[in-house]
Structure 1
Amino acid sequence: MSRIVLKAILGFVMRVLFRPTVEGMERIPGSGPVILAGNHVTFIDSLFMVLSVKRQVFYIGKDEYVTGKGIKGRLMAWFFSTGGMIPVDRDGGHGGVAALMTGRRVLEEGKVFGIYPEGTRSPDGRLYRGRTGVARLALMTGAPVVPYAVIGTDKVQPNGKGMPRIAPVTIRFGEPLDFSRYEGMDRDRYVLRAVTDEVMSDVMRLSGQEYVDVYATKARAA
């Protein structure tokens, strides 16, 4: 019940302040496992995406969001947990495996799992090369992948810092991608790369971003 109340309140505030445009909502299956794979420009991308989807969306987040102390820490833990975030220590040596297994569990329960194939926020607003975790999840579970793009959040919260500004936002969902033809090939790195690139190609088309064929983490470090 707390999730429904939170989503109703935040959804109302979002609609009043930002009046987001949502395109292609009908492309998200109404039941069964679904992977939502999209671009990641700023911190609040998840908020806009989650509030725009009728089904509950689960996604991975840093465990530090739910381990804070005091009243502020408890409020943040409640907010993120109620909003569908599953905390994972992504900085540890097995962080990637933990995130992958968490996503697999969510999908095998017939739920919706949101993922950013880039693995981190874009350092400059461009779309970067996707990591193959999204492909592994799709091939291991048979879940369709619905690509999506959140557009305009870089104007709402430039550089992911400071108080949000009022600016138009669009959440655009693409056609579901079915990769059942690759069943049993989740360990083939060439297949994983091909599937990931197909997903990123649709995200690029939906977002209109310039594509850069390097990992965002490498670009950020440079």
Structure 2
Amino acid sequence: MSRVGYRVSHLVVAPFARLLWRPTVTGSEHVPRTGGVILASNHLSFVDSVAIPIVAPRPVSFLAKSDYFTGSGPLGAVRRGFFEMIEAIPVDRHSSRAAQESLDAALAVLRAGRAFGIYPEGTRSRDGRLYKGRTGVAWLALTAGVPVVPVGLVGTDAVQPVGARFPRPARVRVTFGPPVSPEPYAELPAGKARRQLTDAVMDAIAGLTGQERADCYNELPPDSQGAAVGI
């Protein structure tokens, strides 16, 4: 997110969102104020990619599916304008190279010393459970040598439930947990390191949200409208 976009979002978008959602924010001191960092969150709703940037203590860039940059009508214009303002990175997640393109884009953000937001579940949970994390979050942390701050979102599924066109008033809680360092995993075999680090991040997220765990991956439904691209 550019400095201008960050200021605009906090001066214009944040007050409206806070009035609508009345977010409770805890643990923001766990987010490093400088340097590359990954914010890894559970994923319940389209508005997750709005809720985190407006309460985070520094700009956060997310990947967003390319559809949100081409929508028509008033809602499409507002959605496109918001994602452009926060410098979200458009990705065609139905592309055969979507996963690698997402990793490359995220790595560039981290190596530039910026904060990158990711949903390790890959797509939003449609039943409220916390699904098994995909190991892209660990690959990024290990490759870039940056910490992972777990983020727990509660209540965003009430703001915009699956199938709802517009947000609704609801209470939202955002909790930033202590950073998970990739260093203890760096000497392990690559595959084992990625799996164990990812599991540690998901355990931390579960501790922040209290969600029931699902011992499987969350597959992308054909008609899914989740906002962000998980890796």
TM-score computed with the length of structure 1 as normaliser:
0.92
Deviation at 1:69, TM superposition (A): 5.3
| Structure 1 stretch displaced more, 148-157 or 74-83 | 74-83
Report the counterpart of residue 56 of structure 1 in structure 2: 59
Secondary structure of the residue that 1:217 maps to in structure 2? coil
Residue in structure 2 matching 1:34, options 24, 37, 51? 37
- 8 Å contact kept, 1:56–1:84: no
Deviation at 1:199, TM superposition (A): 0.4
Deviation at 1:157, TM superposition (A): 1.5
The unaligned stretches of length 5 or more in structure 2 are 223-231
| Structure 1 stretch displaced more, 29-38 or 150-159 | 150-159
Q: Which AA in structure 1 matches 2:7? A: I
Deviation at 1:137, TM superposition (A): 0.2
The alignment status of 1:114 with 2:117, answered yes or no, reads: yes
Deviation at 1:121, TM superposition (A): 0.6
Matches within 5 A, 1:133-212: 133-183=136-186, 188-212=190-214
Residue in structure 2 matching 1:131, options 134, 146, 153? 134
**Over residues 38-91 of structure 1, what are the superposed CA-to-partner deviations in whole Å (9 max), with x where a residue is unaligned?**
100111111111100121100111112113457765543322111231101111
Q: In structure 1, what is the Cα distance between the partners aligned to 2:200 and 2:31?
A: 18
Secondary structure of the residue that 1:195 maps to in structure 2? helix
The unaligned stretches of length 5 or more in structure 1 are none
Deviation at 1:156, TM superposition (A): 1.5
Deviation at 1:179, TM superposition (A): 1.2
- 8 Å contact kept, 1:10–1:51: yes
| Structure having the larger proportion of residues in helix | 1
Secondary structure of the residue that 1:55 maps to in structure 2? coil
The alignment status of 1:65 with 2:83, answered yes or no, reads: no
- 8 Å contact kept, 1:154–1:160: no
| Structure 1 stretch displaced more, 152-161 or 189-198 | 152-161
Secondary structure of the residue that 1:6 maps to in structure 2? helix
Q: In structure 1, what is the Cα distance between the partners aligned to 2:40 and 2:104?
A: 17
Q: In structure 2, what is the Cα distance between the partners aligned to 1:117 and 1:202?
A: 12
- 8 Å contact kept, 1:34–1:107: yes
Report the counterpart of residue 227 of structure 2 in structure 1: none
Report the counterpart of residue 11 of structure 1 in structure 2: 14
- 8 Å contact kept, 1:21–1:169: yes
Residues 36, 11 of structure 1: alpha-carbon distance in 2 compared, 3 angstrom cutoff: same
Report the counterpart of residue 217 of structure 2 in structure 1: 215
Deviation at 1:16, TM superposition (A): 2.0
Q: In structure 2, what is the Cα distance between the partners aligned to 1:8 and 1:192?
A: 38
Q: In structure 1, what is the Cα distance between the partners aligned to 2:179 and 2:35?
A: 13
Q: In structure 2, what is the Cα distance between the partners aligned to 1:114 and 1:105?
A: 13
TM-score computed with the length of structure 2 as normaliser:
0.88
Residues 127, 53 of structure 1: alpha-carbon distance in 2 compared, 3 angstrom cutoff: same
